[in-house]
Amino acid sequence: MIGRMYGVGIASQAQTAAKTLVEVASPADSVTFIERAYIKQTSFDTSENLGSTFQRITSSGTGTATTPRPLQSGDAAFGGTVETNSTIEPTYDANGVLVEEGFNVLSGLLWTPANDDEVMVLSPSALWGMNLDVAPSGSMNFSYGVTLREIGG
C-alpha cells in the first residue's frame, strides 16, 4: 500500500473517567487509514476489565492538539488534525461503532486488522475516535495511540 505513515503516541497519563482518548480528523483532500490502535495501562497491578470503542464522530470535541509523527524521516506533516485526552467529548455517530473491545488493564488492548479489508478508512474530512467507554475504578495511568496512513493530498 502507498501513502505516508504517522504515529500518534501518548505516554503514561492519568485517567479517571470514560472519555475520548484520540480523535482523528482526516484531511479535506486525503483518505486516512487507521492501521493500528492501542491502550496500555501503566500504573495498576490489579486485574480490571474496561472497554473501548472505535467510532465515527459527527462533530468534533475539544482535546489537546497532538502532532502525528512521520514514521519515515523527511515525510511531510500529516494533513489532518489529531486531538488527544478530550476535555469536551465529541458527538459520536449513534450507528458509527466500528470496533468494540473489552480488555483487561493488565494486558491492555492492541487492535490491528487481520487483513487489508479490516483497515478502518476515513473519507476526506471524516472524524474518528477511540475512547475508554468504561470508567476505571480509580485513577490509572494509560499510554495510548494510533498508527495512521494518509493517501492523497
Task: Please tell me whether residue 66 adopts helix, strand or coil conformation.
Answer: coil
Q: What is the pLDDT of residue 1?
A: 63
Q: What is the pLDDT of residue 97?
A: 93
- Average pLDDT for consecutive 10-residue bins of the chain (153 residues)? 92 95 97 97 91 96 97 94 97 92 95 91 97 94 97 85
Q: What is the pLDDT of residue 33?
A: 96
Tell me, letter by letter, the H, E, C secondary structure of 108-151. Answer: CEEECCCCHHHCEEECCCCEEEEEECCCCCCCEEEEEEEEEEEE
Residue 142, C-alpha cell as written in the block: 494509560
Residue 29, C-alpha cell as written in the block: 483532500
Q: Which domains does the chain have, with CATH numbers?
A: 4-152 (2.60.120)
- 141's enclosing H/E stretch is strand 140-152
